[in-house]
Amino acid sequence: MAEDQTVDVVVVGAGFAGLYMLRQLHRLGLSAVVLEAADGVGGTWYWNRYPGARCDSESYYYSYSFDEDLQQEWTWSERYAGQAEILRYLDHVADRFDLRRDIRLNTRVTAARWDDTAGTWTVDTEQGGSWSARWMVTAVGCLSSANVPDIPGLDSFGGDWYHTGQWPHEKVDFTGKRVGIVGTGSTGIQAIPVVAAEAEHLTVFQRTPNYSIPARNGPMPPEVSDRIKQEYADIRAVQRASTNGHPFLISPTSALSVADDVRSATYEDAWEFGGLRFRAAYSDLLSDQAANDTASDFIRDKIREVVKDAEVAERLLPDDHGFATKRPPIDTQYFETYNRDNVTLVDVRSTPIQEITATGMRTTEQEYPLDCIVFATGFDALTGPLLRMNIQGRDGTTLRDHWAEGPKTYLGLQVAGFPNMFTITGPGSPSVLTNMPTCIEQHVDWITDVLEHARDGGLTRIETTEAAEREWGEEVQRAADRTLLPRAATSWYLGANVPGKPRVFMPYAGGMASYAGTCTDVAKDGYRGFVMA
Ligand code: NA7
């Protein structure tokens, strides 16, 4: 039955962010509801059930730190947790902290309007009910709006097609099937080896070749798990003090300051250790092109070593961007998969996809017969999930209009003209450049503090100013320009993967710790950049 109700806070989304936000609102004693489109909690980990779906952060730190008992009682089974295990964890959190009573599942938000006279948000749902609240917090994730490419003929395809971010709940069986995967980002790189092992034939349609580092996943030995649990306080402290929210710091040494053999040995060790730590091997991999070239060349050599067919290896060599200037994937047997007889690599940059036919995919070169197509084509990142909620601020200004030239926020947390709305991991925050739960906890804690401040001070309105928003936008740009990241022309950080999306570097690249320090200073400074009443 559709509900019309009033609460203090409406939270949209029941993933990592929404669950923790609700926990904190309970602590504050505010009435709250979490509206969630899916029929379960988990957000990203509810939707992304594609073969091989696994977190690229290691399990022991891709987790909440807010509750010591939770840290101690939960034991991860692998170095990197798979989708199902993370979903079990989030379900456990929802139960353990008695969150479900305030979560409405199967409730997609279709619109949200600010009423300036009443000082409230009205949030409409697809089911027809609406919620009224003084505060609205979006916890909609950064990578939740699927980007399905507009390829002519998709409707006429006679087989099944899927987007990895909207995967069916029942197992998709590729046995005996000719499968095509479009996309070689983090998702495609995880899915390709798993699908290749099952399908009769896999054709990979690659537009931009990518770097990838072996994950070196494996079972979590009990003694490692025990040691981590004893050291959690220190581990979390490093995460919070780090650039990317991981429990390791970036080396202070320049890649260009050491002899070639020393550097090669460092890279070799990092390659063997596996995972995202490779990026932390030297201080300047993301800020100096020559330093970055050393890492990029090392990985290109590895690809040549692993892939037996020299021509295929050549096609797999990244050539348009430096290592980790786009989100760096990590993998299990990705490049090795191209040594299988049942895998074909098609370069759709030189022979673009023209259409999907009833029986396959046609490029400018030929038609590839397919029974199934998997789009691992990513997301309308950061802005997409917010824009599709049809948010209307003061004077009827829509978020879509306000962001027509690209997203504008103050600290990634608020938007001028949209009072009392807080955006967890919004554009302009470091979110997607970090280990997400670390960033989410920092955001939620900051929002909790400001709501507590409002509650205690009898404040009913909090809104950032256009000046604060402009200055933060300039700071986001300056931080990006200190890195090589904006140079990766096909990066979703820039919105480049979605046709027509403004090309603006969206995340804050100045580092998690320095960002968190700024947020703390802003609060200490009487919430500088916010108008409160
Ligand atoms: P990504 O990283 O955006 O990767 C999408 C891939 O799909 C990438 O290789 C794209 O090529 C390719 N793509 C997108 N559209 C097309 C079309 N129209 N034709 C051919 N190829 C296309 O998404 P993921 O899901 O892999 O990863 C998203 C994040 O999830 C990841 O960074 C982690 O944070 C977790 P392109 O590079 O644009 O040329």
For residues 501 and 491, give the distance between their C-alpha atoms in angstroms, rounded to a whole number: 12
Domain boundaries, the chain: 4-144+380-532, 154-375
Ligand 1 proximity of 348 Cβ (cutoff 6 Å)? yes
Determine the pLDDT at residue 3. Answer: 63
Task: Note the pLDDT of residue 4.
Answer: 65
DSSP helix/strand/coil, 271 = helix
Categorise residue 378: left if φ over 0, alpha if ψ from -120 to 50, beta otherwise: left
* Among protein residues, the one whose CA lies closest to atom 27 of ligand 1: 186
| Rounded CA separation 166/162 (Å) | 7
> Residue 107: enclosing H or E segment and its boundaries?
none
CA-to-CA distance for 42 and 45, rounded, in angstroms?
A: 5
Q: How far is the CA of 185 from the centre of ligand 1 (A)?
A: 5
Q: Are 394 and 116 in contact (CB under 8 A)?
A: yes
User: Is any ligand 1 atom within 6 A of the Cβ of residue 280?
Assistant: no
Q: Is the CB of 183 under 6 A from ligand 1?
A: yes
Residue 445 CA to ligand 1 center (angstroms) comes to 32
Substitution site in 161, 162, 186 for ligand 1 pocket (most atoms within 8 Å of beta carbon) = 186
Amino acid letter, 186: S
Q: Which residues contact 120 (CB under 8 A, 6 or more apart)?
A: 114, 132, 133, 134
**Is 433 in contact with 403 (CB distance < 8 Å)?**
no
Ligand 1: distance of its center to the CA of 497 in Å? 7
In this prediction, residue 2 carries a pLDDT of 59
* Inter-residue contact 202 to 196 (CB < 8 Å): yes
CB of 376 within 6 A of ligand 1: the answer is yes
From the CA of 150, give the closest atom in ligand 1.
18
Top mutation candidate among 55, 187, 356, 498 for ligand 1, by most atoms within 8 Å of CB: 187
Helix axes 16-28, 436-457, angle to 10 degrees: 30
CA of 364 to the centre of ligand 1 (A): 21
CA nearest ligand 1 atom 2, residue: 185
pLDDT of residue 450: 98
The architecture that CATH gives domain 4-144+380-532 is: 3-Layer(bba) Sandwich (3.50)
| Atom 18 of ligand 1: nearest residue by CA position | 149
- CA-nearest residue for atom 25, ligand 1, is 378
Tokens for 285? 């991999």
pLDDT of res. 21: 99
DSSP state of 310: H
Q: What pLDDT is recorded for position 212?
A: 98
Q: Does residue 180's CB lie within 6 angstroms of at least one atom of ligand 1?
A: no
- Cβ of 437 closer than 6 Å to ligand 1, yes or no, is no
Does any ligand 1 atom lie closer than 6 A to the CB of residue 492? yes
| pTM, entire model | 0.98
Q: Whose CA is nearest to atom 38 of ligand 1?
A: 497
Of 431, 328, 325, 434, which Cα lies nearest the Cα of 381? Answer: 431
- Kindly give the number of the ligand 1 atom that is closest to the alpha carbon of 165: 25
Which of 148, 207, 212, 330 best tests ligand 1's pocket when mutated (most atoms within 8 Å of CB)? 207
pLDDT tens digits for the chain (533 residues)? Answer: 556 699 999 999 999 999 999 999 999 999 999 999 999 999 999 999 999 999 999 999 999 999 999 999 999 999 999 999 999 999 999 999 999 999 999 999 999 999 999 999 999 999 899 999 999 999 999 999 999 999 999 999 999 999 999 999 999 999 999 999 999 999 999 999 999 999 999 999 999 999 999 999 999 999 999 999 999 999 999 999 999 999 999 999 999 999 999 999 999 999 999 999 999 999 999 999 999 999 999 999 999 999 999 999 999 999 999 999 999 999 999 999 999 999 999 999 999 999 999 999 999 999 999 999 999 999 999 999 999 999 999 999 999 999 999 999 999 999 999 999 999 999 999 999 999 999 999 999 999 999 999 999 999 999 999 999 999 999 999 999 999 999 998 999 999 999 999 999 999 999 999 999 999 999 999 999 999 99
Ligand 1 near 327 CB (within 6 A): yes
Strand segments (E) across 415-524: 421-423, 462-464
Calpha distance 235→252 (Å, rounded): 19
Residue 377 CA: nearest ligand 1 atom is 7
Cα-to-centroid distance, 531 and ligand 1 (Å): 39
Ligand 1 pocket: which of 377, 379, 490, 501 to mutate (most atoms within 8 A of CB):
377
Q: Measuring from atom 16 of ligand 1, which residue has the nearest CA? A: 377
Torsion sign across C-alpha atoms 176, 181, 187, 189? positive
Q: Distance between CA 5 and CA 446 in Å, rounded?
A: 26
Residue at 272: amino acid letter: E
Distance 206 CA to ligand 1 centre (A): 10
